[in-house]
Structure 1
């Protein structure tokens, strides 16, 4: 799906799909799709304003995240410990969605899953046939214990003919005190270097699948939904693909506030954000287009 990128507008005018992203955006937006890491949380801490944002939208939001470590059930418990009460049904995760899609579209397929114990358990519960060799698919998620030996297994399975599905292509996500946390994309880079094989499919943002699932669960329309995130290459690009407005927070170019708390405190200055053409070209040069 192609995107005609637009530059950011700082005047708070309505977007091309009719959604106003200006000082009145919290009352004008009917639904919200919000990113997780770097937007609501940084590792084991909630970001300033996260609880207030979710409380304001109450039953009109969904979290849409490239997270491939947790399940929605497990993540809901983790968020609860941070003071963010989120029902599991409001959490859309790249790891879970990748497993579900693989189980539904390729029943009986042999799957080598590189991922957390939680995702492994979820995959078995969904009916996936998890194997260590002779796989039809390699599903690459975030594995905290990824090793040289594991890399060799994956590379040779791909060279033998298995197809590679990656939950996302993010190299890192934000951690506390300005640190970065290596993500699935860092593992993907090693797999590509070792095998010479590109992923057959990438599930996570900016591809539309997660956004579409979030909209479906909310019964929402793109034209009245705002995406809030911290990454122009995933959140803003993905929103633009589906015609949704996007507000970026954090330190990235185009961010309208340092944290989500600023979306309310300084919302009179909050502009709409769209990727510039140059930024979009950079994304296309480093991302695999999702079929």
Structure 2
């Protein structure tokens, strides 16, 4: 009997807390990505942040010393656009968000309008407008379907936490009684859309993340093996509080350098 070829792993990985932290490179991230590129290993960098386009994020990562192609960046905005295109091709939406979201919707042929849209699509912005939120509430009341890019309640800034998509979605939900459909993590839909974008299968792809409640959960529910790194949100003790576990826990992505072919080897 011929020996079975060793499994070749492909990678999905979160950006903040795994590769960078507050605009600074996490040690080992550049070496690990270089190793993946040298071995021609397919990978995507994921983020729930819908503000930026892949081009914007590439430029931001370059400033930290990470060279990631636009085609290797997958955002909740892109996942949301992919989802809407599958549900109602050529539809219309009233959008609260930034260029990352509006560009993704334009690229699938959506019309952005505040007159009788098919969807209200809520993303992240640093300048949430009371007028726009009010318009969103009224459109949802009139029958527009309510979509949000991700459920994150807060986002980071140098001054402290900022209200993010999940907080504003809760406001609209409370006002309308209509719950949004969240596309981003921990919805495994984002993982599956990333797998399709990467052209790989869950059986030979793993997810590296720093959060048990989003990264690990989404990976697990999409059928991926998962690695929790302790360089971001979740710590070893807090990870024990969850009813599910990652496949592996590592101190940081630096621990995976030299082991990308078999990250679970002892």
Task: Summarize the alignment of residues 56-75 of structure 1 with structure 2, pairs less than 5 Å apart.
Answer: 56-58=35-37, 59-60=40-41, 61-75=43-57
Q: Is 1:214 the counterpart of 2:194 in the alignment?
A: yes
Q: CA deviation at 1:83?
A: 1.2
Match in the other structure for 1:81? 63
Question: Residue 128 of structure 2: which of 146, 166, 174 is its match?
Answer: 146
Quote the Cα distance in structure 2 between the aligned partners of 1:223 and 1:108.
Answer: 33
C-alpha distance 213-117 of structure 1, shift in aligned 2 (>3 A): closer
Unaligned runs of 5+ in 2: 1-5, 240-245
Question: Residue 132 of structure 1: which of 90, 107, 114 is its match?
Answer: 114
Structure 1 stretch displaced more, 97-106 or 79-88? 97-106
Match in the other structure for 2:91? 109
Quote the Cα distance in structure 2 between the aligned partners of 1:188 and 1:114.
Answer: 11
Q: What's the Cα RMSD here?
A: 2.9
Q: CA deviation at 1:68?
A: 0.8
Question: Residue 96 of structure 1: which of 78, 86, 99 is its match?
Answer: 78
Match in the other structure for 2:228? 248
Write the deviation string for residues 84-122 of structure 1: whole angstroms up to 9, x where unpaired. Answer: 111111111110221233245323433101110343244
TM-score normalised by length of structure 1: 0.73
TM-score normalised by length of structure 2: 0.79
SS of the equivalent of 2:191 reads helix
Structure 1 stretch displaced more, 221-230 or 209-218? 209-218
Match in the other structure for 1:50? 29
Match in the other structure for 2:242? none
C-alpha distance 161-219 of structure 1, shift in aligned 2 (>3 A): closer
Higher RCO (CA 8 Å, separation ≥ 6 residues): 1
Aligned pairs, number = 242
Unaligned runs of 5+ in 1: 1-26, 273-291
Q: CA deviation at 1:29?
A: 6.1
Question: Residue 206 of structure 2: which of 221, 226, 230 is its match?
Answer: 226
Does the 8 Å contact 2:50/2:123 carry over to 1?
Answer: yes
Does the 8 Å contact 2:211/2:233 carry over to 1?
Answer: no
